[in-house]
């Protein structure tokens, strides 16, 4: 009887506990629980699509009145503004940060006579452009975009990849190749105040003409700016290719030596040639800086010429033509010299979530500043979050 009595008692305890739990569940509020006194209120999750720029990096090239690079400036000599607001420089370097380089090479049959010369340039990339701490990847493009070599610091592999470039079809998907190069550079670490990083550089050997890309130049440049990628161009000349192949230029074209024939199916006009040669209305040089800002703001618009010039201007790089007395080798050598003699400035914008175009201005604070020529990227564009 005693055992039966204790068993009934245990059952009664369990029944009472279950009844109390059911009562509490029935009384529980349907919304979030109120905070305990003194406990912080739980905030709703942040919008994952909010635009936020954590780091802006711009290469800055400073030359004196004779065109020589200036190497004796310090961080205190620079002033950077973002939409007119002064910024605090968090990282400063003079040509020392290691380079992550994507080499884009046009492999179209249009420039086939130049291929023997291009295949000899591998050693320039590994020694002059990359430097001892750099790395490079190689991408070829014609009607397709082909990753030929992933990032490596092995000079032999890079030089072999350039030396074994093969000629493809007649197309030239320049903008799609640029987009692929920017995407590859996104994974390379950038410098911060706490740790060193790598400079992201896209170097293009190509005609300044796109044929068949799905991307627009504005799309590519907007992404390159946000990714802190500096674009350099070595403009290849189809006319030079024809001359090197011992072929006379077609009669009746009216093209002066050094101009690039229009893409297949596009009639040659004075306006087309003016655009390509950097002439607005035939009356003078166009404002590349204004044009670069405009194409980033109007990403769906198309451009007929100046692709490499606009890309370089929009990202703080440089574009060198090989139409006249500058060889491909000399152009690459000049780019390498600049990369290892320029300043790199980084900052975190104080108004990082403001959408729209952000104008970057870099100035030098020094007695002889008026005699210095400064080149930096003009800005970047932030789109509003979706939804």
Cβ contact 316:80 at 8 Å: no
Can you give the pLDDT at residue 52?
Answer: 54
Domain 50-95+344-387 in CATH 2.60.40? The answer is yes
Banded pLDDT at 386 (limits 50, 70, 90): low
Are 352 and 54 a contacting pair, CB within 8 Å? yes
Flag whether pLDDT at 75 surpasses 80.
yes
pLDDT of amino acid 253: 36
183-224 pLDDT tens trace: 999 999 887 767 778 999 999 999 998 999 999 999 999 999
Buried b (16+ CB within 10 A) or exposed e, 232-262: bbbbbbbbbbbeeeeeebeeeeebeeebbbb
Q: How much is the mean pLDDT over the chain?
A: 80
pLDDT digits (tens, 9 = 90+) for 212-267: 999 999 999 999 999 999 999 999 986 655 565 554 444 333 333 333 344 444 44
- pLDDT of 33 reads 40
Backbone angles phi, psi at 234, to 5 degrees: -115, 105
Could you say which architecture CATH assigns to the domain 97-250+277-340? 3-Layer(aba) Sandwich (3.40)
The pLDDT tens digits of the residues spanning 128-169 come to 999 999 999 999 999 999 999 999 999 999 999 999 999 999
Of 56-65, 311-320, 324-333, the range with the lowest mean pLDDT is: 324-333
pLDDT at 5: 46
CATH 3.40.50.410 placement within the chain: 97-250+277-340
In whole angstroms, give the CA distance from residue 221 to residue 178: 9
Share of the chain above pLDDT 90, in %: 62
Structure tokens at 220: 């590519």
Residues of each domain in the chain carrying CATH 2.60.40: 50-95+344-387
Q: Note the pLDDT tens digit of each residue in 283-298.
A: 344 688 999 999 999 8
The rounded distance, in Å, linking the Cα atoms of 335 and 215 is 26
| 35: pLDDT strictly greater than 90 | no
CB count, 10 Å around CB of 113? Answer: 18
Residue listed under structure tokens 């009607």: 143
381: pLDDT strictly greater than 70: yes
- Tell me the average pLDDT across 359-385: 93
Q: And the tokens for 33?
A: 């629980």
């Amino acid at each position: 009887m005693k055992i039966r009595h204790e068993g009934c008692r245990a059952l009664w305890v369990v029944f009472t506990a279950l009844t109390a739990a059911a009562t509490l569940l029935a009384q529980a509020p349907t919304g979030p629980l109120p905070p305990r006194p003194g406990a912080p209120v739980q905030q709703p999750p942040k919008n994952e699509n909010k635009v936020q720029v954590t780091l802006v990096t711009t290469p800055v090239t400073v030359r004196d009145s004779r065109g020589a690079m200036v190497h004796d400036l310090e961080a205190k000599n620079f002033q950077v503004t973002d939409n007119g607001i002064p910024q605090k420089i968090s990282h400063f370097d003079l040509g020392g940060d290691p380079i992550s380089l994507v080499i884009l090479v046009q492999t179209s049959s249009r420039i086939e006579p130049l291929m023997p010369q291009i295949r000899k340039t591998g050693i320039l990339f590994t020694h002059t452009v990359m430097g001892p701490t750099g790395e490079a990847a190689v991408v070829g493009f014609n009607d397709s975009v082909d990753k030929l070599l992933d990032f490596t610091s092995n000079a032999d592999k890079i030089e072999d990849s350039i030396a074994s470039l093969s000629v493809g079809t007649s197309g030239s998907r320049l903008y799609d190749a640029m987009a692929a190069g920017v995407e590859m550079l996104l994974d390379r670490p950038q410098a911060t105040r706490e740790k060193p990083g790598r400079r992201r550089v896209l170097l293009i050997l190509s005609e300044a003409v796109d044929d068949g890309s799905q991307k627009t130049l504005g799309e590519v440049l907007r992404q390159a700016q946000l990714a802190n990628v500096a674009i350099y161009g070595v403009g290849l000349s189809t006319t030079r290719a024809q001359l090197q192949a011992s072929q006379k230029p077609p009669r009746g074209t009216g093209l002066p030596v050094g101009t690039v024939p229009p893409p297949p199916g596009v009639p040659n006009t004075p306006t087309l040639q003016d655009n390509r040669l950097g002439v607005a209305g035939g009356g003078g040089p166009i404002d590349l800086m204004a044009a670069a800002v405009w194409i980033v703001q109007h990403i769906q618009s198309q451009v007929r010429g100046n692709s490499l010039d606009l890309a370089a201007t929009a990202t703080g790089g440089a574009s060198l033509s090989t139409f006249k007395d500058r060889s491909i080798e000399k152009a690459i050598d000049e780019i390498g010299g600049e990369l290892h003699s320029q300043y790199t400035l980084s900052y975190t914008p104080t108004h990082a979530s403001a959408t729209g175009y952000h104008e970057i201005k870099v100035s030098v604070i020094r007695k002889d500043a008026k005699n210095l020529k400064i080149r930096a990227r003009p800005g970047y564009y932030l789109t509003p979050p979706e939804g």
